[in-house]
Copies of this chain bind each other. A is one copy, B any other.
Amino acid sequence: MRGNLGIRALFMAVLLLLTMGPPVSAAPSPAGGDPLPSWREGPVKRRLLAFVAAVSTQGSRDYVPAAERLAVFDNDGTLWGEQPMYVQLAFALDRARTLVAQRPELAANPVVAAAAAGDVKAVMAQGTQGLLELVALTHGGMSTETFARIVRDWFRSACHPGLHRPYSSLTFAPMGELLELLRSRGFLTVIVSGGGSDFLRVVTEELYGVPPEQVIGSTVRTTYAVEGSVPVLLRHPEVAFIDDGAGKPVGIHTALGRRPIAAFGNSDGDFEMLEWTTAGPGARLGLILHHDDAEREFAYDRNSPFGRLDRALAAAPQRGWTVVSMRNDWERVYRLSASPCSP
């Protein structure tokens, strides 16, 4: 009897140890398998794994306390695709078409007319001012709750024109694995996007396991009001903050008050975020994803209207930033778990 109790207790103790999760100093993959199966073996993958192990293994020369393990990720072109146009721009075009159908006089504005017609080139030809006007019309003039509902509905029905898949299934599998690896090693993984935070927050939890409070993005001017007896937050047709380029370090500081130790981007809009991140003391990681895979995704860099990559690519060797070749370093590109759709 006593012996049986002993064995049972021992068994329980072992079971408890197993269910408690790995200690902080364990190897990157808890199960001993490859935590990054969608990444091909090579120097880039080795660099990623070595960095993660170095900063999160107690006793390591480059050890960083968990509270300071902050990693920031650009979204468009880094976590999901941005061709033939930003996902949020596709949303704006669809929204413009809906609004113009309701109020045809809106088409008097050339950028709105171009958007409603789905003519991306004509939209882009209107320049930054035109884009701001389009955002104001399609993203402002409603409460935050109404906007979230419209975005949620759009994601349910929208379909990528070339790839015939819902946008929500077009995230990059290797980056999803990286997010998970970092979180399993105590990192806070924060999205820092030029896109709108209220747009992205509708889907980041489902797509990336990133909750709304870990999303930093561009904003429209927002004010508080009580309508009848119902408090609401009103989105005004006016851009308040552009979280791109030199705005990214500012956005990160305002929201988090810390400098990241790792930054992941794919365009010149991520230059300052990488620069600021990798200029800090201790071990740092800056990574640039180069879209050089015309077969499986798209091949573009310095001449692309979306995700232009020129200055950051040129600076990478001297700055010690890791350049990822999608063609060579990724075994798999898309997560692609959904059925095809028709646009």
Contact = CB atoms under 8 A, between A and B. Distances in A.
Nearest to A226: B275
A89 interface: no
A257 B224 contact: no
Given A16-B16, A20-B16, A256 B224 contact: no
Interface in A249-297: 249-250, 253-258, 272, 275-276, 279
Interface string A168-202: 00000000000000000000100000000110010
A275 B3 CA distance: 62
Interface stretch (A6-14, A25-33, A44-52, A134-142): A6-14
Contact of A2 (B3, B213, B222, B250): B3
A108 interface: no
A288 B152 CA distance: 36
A67 B231 contact: no
A246 B9 CA distance: 57
Interface in A115-144: 144
Contacts of A144: 253
- Tell me which of A224, A233, A250, A279 has the highest count of chain B C-beta atoms within 10 A of its own C-beta: A224
A279 B211 CA distance: 22
A117 to B, nearest CB: 33
Nearest to A2: B3
Nearest to A200: B257
Contacts of A20: 16, 20
Contacts of A12: 9, 13
Given A7-B6, A9-B9, A253 B213 contact: no
A212 interface: yes
A102 interface: no
Given A224-B249, A231-B272, A250-B222, A6 B13 contact: no
Contacts of A253: 144, 222, 233
A190 to B, nearest CB: 8
Contacts of A314: none
A256 B212 contact: yes
A223 interface: yes
- 7 closest Cβ pairs, A-B complex: A6-B6, A212-B257, A9-B10, A224-B246, A9-B9, A213-B256, A201-B257
17 contacts: A5-B6, A5-B10, A6-B10, A9-B13, A10-B13, A16-B20, A67-B205, A67-B211, A144-B253, A197-B254, A198-B257, A219-B254, A222-B253, A224-B246, A224-B272, A231-B276, A233-B276
